[in-house]
Amino acid sequence: MVDVLPLVEARLSTALGAPDARAAVTFLGTDRIEVLRFRDSDQEGAVVRYATLGMSAHPMTDPTAMLADPVKGPRAELVLTVRAGLAETDKVLRALAVLAASPQVEGVVVAPGASLDVGDPLWPGAPFSSVLVGEPGGLVEDLELDAPMDPVRFLPLLPMTANEAAWKRVHGAQALQERWLTKGTDLRDPARKSVPLD
């Protein structure tokens, strides 16, 4: 069977450039998860992107399924983008590895619109402990694999404050994203305040 991870890393490097740092985390009973860091500059200033590598090694399995299919099923990696130099965002590595390991540990299927919570600030002093999983295909294109394997999707993570996460549970992911858009929220700001929700 094809080793997916070298292909995933090549796709990330093609889209984001060469990583300038990487860290590996291993949880008991799971495969190793790496988090790669990419530095970039856009029109508004420097950003740093963190991408997981390892989550897509196995397909995610519906927790209600009687038997896990070792080949078919959704595959994904997570990508977080924040403005550089405004917070200790490099400390997010462990939180990202925890989220990337959740399909193996908890049997969850991570998909757009889902909320993921690590229970602690994403980095020291962060106003966020949870993220909204965004739609793939923008920053890093899906990686097609040989049939019958599903493509690897690169899912952007959008940090949410506790108030936003609670509001999203009531009104849904689409409504929260529309609220962010309407209010011009800078989702890359690692110290941003909650969007007005009244």
Give pLDDT, residue 28: 77
DSSP code per residue over the chain: ---HHHHHHHHHHHHH---SEEEEE--TTS--EEEEEEEEEETTEEEEEEEEESGGGS----TT-SS--SSSS-EEEEEEEEETTSS-GGGGHHHHHHHHHHHHHH-----TT-EEE-SS-SSTT-SEEEEEE--SSSSS--B--STTSPPEEEEEEEEEEHHHHHHHHHH-HHHHHHHHHHTT--TT-TTPPPPP--
Give pLDDT, residue 61: 85
Bridge partner list, 117: 130
Give pLDDT, residue 187: 95
Average confidence (pLDDT) over 123-147:
93
Higher pLDDT, 105 or 195: 195
Distance separating alpha carbons of residues 53 and 9, to the nearest angstrom: 7
Determine contact, residues 8/143, Cβ cutoff 8 Å.
yes
Average confidence (pLDDT) over 25-31:
81
- The owner of tokens 């858009």 is 181
- Assigned token pair, 17: 């450039």
Average confidence (pLDDT) over 15-28:
90
Higher pLDDT, 104 or 188: 188
Distance separating alpha carbons of residues 70 and 48, to the nearest angstrom: 33
Summarised one tens digit per residue, pLDDT across range 51-89 is: 999 999 999 987 677 676 778 889 999 999 999 988 999
Summarised one tens digit per residue, pLDDT across range 112-131 is: 999 999 999 999 999 999 99
The two beta strands, 115-117 and 45-53, are unpaired
Look at residues 132, 115, 110 and name the one whose alpha carbon lies nearest to residue 59.
Answer: 110
Q: How confident is the model at residue 42 (pLDDT cuts 50, 70, 90)?
A: low
Higher pLDDT, 123 or 2: 123
Q: How confident is the model at residue 1 (pLDDT cuts 50, 70, 90)?
A: low
Distance separating alpha carbons of residues 92 and 84, to the nearest angstrom: 13
Residue boundaries of the structural domains of the chain? 4-182
Distance separating alpha carbons of residues 31 and 141, to the nearest angstrom: 24
Average confidence (pLDDT) over 43-56:
88
Give pLDDT, residue 116: 95
Compute the CA torsion angle 143, 77, 160, 42 (nearest 10 deg): -60
